[in-house]
């Protein structure tokens, strides 16, 4: 599910940047990948916006603790509740000139300002019934940015971070299946109930 959401966002952003830059539909502008290679060099291809996942956490406010039950005729199925995640994505511009990098980061911010929520209605490639995904700017202090770029293993590039939420993960495999309770009997005083 995480890779599908990341690709959905990447694809939407790429279409927008192609229109802004006036390039053709076959020009690759946004790449989903790690930012550094094994030698610590920039792995984002030249003249592209790189996109990488840098953190995941659980959305605890909307957490469901109990089993999920699904009724199927005369059977009841039980499954673990879905997990709702927050994904944190970093987008960085790797261009030949600083001016071009800033232009693409500005366009990236404009895209997410225009499209703050991805839904099946406003995103044709999103499967029907998929929960909406809200995208918010994720501000970081200079100290946090320094720490993040150190972990990424390369020098700073013009960039912006976003939080995507909630990304729902639900395994289709059921935990168990049983017949529903159809009658309750209560025994009191140690005597069996009358027949």
The per-residue pLDDT for range 126-140, each reduced to its tens digit, is 887 788 999 999 999
Q: What are the boundaries of each domain within the chain?
A: 2-60+84-169
The DSSP result for 167-181, as a single string, is EEE---S-SEEEPPP
* pLDDT value at residue 92: 98
CATH of domain 2-60+84-169: 3.30.2000
Tokens of residue 27, six digits: 């020009």
User: Is 164:134 a contact under the CB 8 Å cutoff?
Assistant: yes
* pLDDT value at residue 172: 67
Least confident among 26-40, 96-110, 175-189? 175-189
Closest-CA residue to 151 (of 95, 90, 94, 96): 90
Average of pLDDT values for 99-104?
A: 97
CB atoms inside a 10 Å sphere around CB 182? 6
Average of pLDDT values for 62-87?
A: 73
Average of pLDDT values for 70-75?
A: 69
Tokens of residue 16, six digits: 């927008």
Beta bridge partners of 56: 87
Tokens of residue 111, six digits: 């895209």
How confident is residue 95, by pLDDT bands cut at 50, 70 and 90? very high
User: Is 140:89 a contact under the CB 8 Å cutoff?
Assistant: no
* pLDDT value at residue 143: 96
Average of pLDDT values for 12-17?
A: 96
| Span 60-72, pLDDT tens digits | 776 666 665 666 6
Average of pLDDT values for 138-150?
A: 96
* pLDDT value at residue 90: 98
């Amino acid at each position: 599910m995480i890779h599908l959401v990341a690709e959905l966002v990447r694809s939407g952003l790429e279409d927008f940047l192609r229109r802004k830059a006036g390039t053709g539909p076959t020009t690759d502008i946004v790449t989903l990948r790690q930012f550094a290679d094994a030698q610590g060099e920039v792995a984002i291809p030249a003249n592209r916006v790189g996109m990488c996942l840098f953190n995941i956490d659980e959305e605890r406010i909307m957490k469901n603790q109990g089993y999920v039950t699904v009724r199927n005729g005369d059977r009841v199925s039980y499954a673990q509740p879905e997990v709702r995640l927050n994904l944190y994505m970093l987008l960085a511009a790797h261009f030949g000139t600083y001016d071009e990098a800033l232009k693409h980061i500005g366009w990236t911010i404009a895209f997410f300002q225009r499209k703050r929520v991805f839904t099946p209605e406003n995103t044709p490639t999103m499967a029907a019934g998929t929960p909406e995904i809200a995208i918010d700017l994720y501000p970081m202090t200079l100290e946090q940015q320094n720490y993040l770029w150190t972990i990424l293993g390369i020098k700073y590039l013009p960039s912006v971070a976003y939080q995507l939420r909630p990304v729902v993960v639900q395994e289709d495999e059921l935990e168990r299946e049983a017949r529903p309770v159809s009658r309750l009997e209560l025994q009191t005083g140690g005597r069996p109930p009358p027949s």
